[in-house]
Amino acid sequence: MVINNLLSFFYNSSSNSSYFSKYVTPYECGFSSFGAQSSNFSMGFLVLLVFFVLLDVEVVLLLNASKMLTLWGSLLYYLSFLFIIFMVFLFEVLYGFVSFKY
């Protein structure tokens, strides 16, 4: 593996870099983009996406709560877990990421 990495390093450094430059530059919709790239997503959308992923994972973790609540040692864990979910949801509502209007 070390020999393979060394050989690839020397091969890439000794080869013509203009040959590989066409694979590094962006190519989209039939033309090469030379200008600055910008994000098409707003910050609010990205924050909502992160909250959705976090809450989705938390819901999956809560699926086994009915089995685990028979053990009293995990009750504090699940209550703190539900408190965190509630706080995240409250944060989403207060900052306007979740709206209950039709």
For residue 84, the model assigns a pLDDT of: 84
Domain count, the chain: 2
Whether 101 is covered by a domain: the verdict is no
15 vs 90: which has the higher pLDDT: 90
Q: 3-state DSSP call for residue 27?
A: strand
Domain of residue 24, residue span: 2-32
23/47 same-domain check: no
Whether 54 is covered by a domain: the verdict is yes
Whether 85 is covered by a domain: the verdict is yes
Which of 41, 46, 43, 52 has its CA nearest to residue 89? Answer: 52
With beta carbons less than 8 A apart as the criterion, state whether 65 and 78 touch.
Answer: yes
48/26 same-domain check: no
For residue 64, the model assigns a pLDDT of: 72
47/25 same-domain check: no
User: What is this structure's pTM?
Assistant: 0.41
Whether 37 is covered by a domain: the verdict is no
For residue 100, the model assigns a pLDDT of: 66
For residue 55, the model assigns a pLDDT of: 73
